[in-house]
Amino acid sequence: MDRLFQDVQGLLGRTLHNTPSPEEKELFRIAAAALMFISETGRILSFEDYLQHGKEDPPYAVAAFKTREEADTWLRKHSEPPHGAHILIADEYHLVAYRREHDIRGLLKLPVIEHYLEELARRGPTTPVASFSTREAAIAWLQSQPEPPRNAFISISGKYHVALYHRLINHRALYPLPMTGEPG
């Protein structure tokens, strides 16, 4: 990854040097600074993981909470909430909003998972890896997996669901796929 970072920084530097527009030069400087930030804050391995698995993983989240009250408590107590990051509340995505200068904090529900599930449905589900008669049995199966799949199709009472594993926060969740029918 260090070599990749060096190559990208070199490309940014060459492009910056050959760009006549001051506005574009500033954008290239910001991109280079973002890479340095990733490197200097020790996030290179997380970024490498994101590059390698980002398309197959569920959308990233930095925390998961069972209730809105738990999430609100976390947000109030966090010294500097991660503005722009996603969190899960009852497996629904929310955006963390934080304005440092006025200490304004908020959580905004977003249809992130819905878009992800629609994309999985558009690609077409594969044969389910497991079938269950109840949601409870499916949840018990997912929780028992020592290394759960990032995303796997399962069947619950003949309807497709997706079992997701949010690796960064070690969180497992089940979502109905936005289509019905017999698993194939």
Digits of tens for pLDDT over the chain (184 positions)?
677 777 887 888 888 788 888 898 888 888 888 888 877 777 777 777 777 666 678 888 999 999 999 999 999 999 999 999 999 999 999 999 999 999 999 999 999 999 899 888 888 878 899 999 999 999 999 999 988 888 899 999 999 999 999 888 999 999 999 864 444 4
Say how far apart CA 106 and CA 94 lie, in whole Å. 9
**What pLDDT score does 31 carry?**
85
Closest CA relative to residue 166, chosen from 47, 64, 44:
64
The number of C-alpha atoms within 13 Å of 4 and in the hemisphere containing its C-beta is 10
Domain boundaries, given as residue ranges, for the chain: 2-53, 64-109, 112-176
Q: What pLDDT does residue 181 have? A: 43
H-only helix segments in the chain: 2-18, 22-40, 44-53, 68-77, 112-123, 135-144
**pLDDT the model gives residue 180:** 40
Nearest CA among 3, 55, 11, 4 for reference residue 31: 11
What letter would DSSP give residue 81?
-
Q: What is the pLDDT of residue 138?
A: 96
Pairing of strands 159-166, 104-109: unpaired
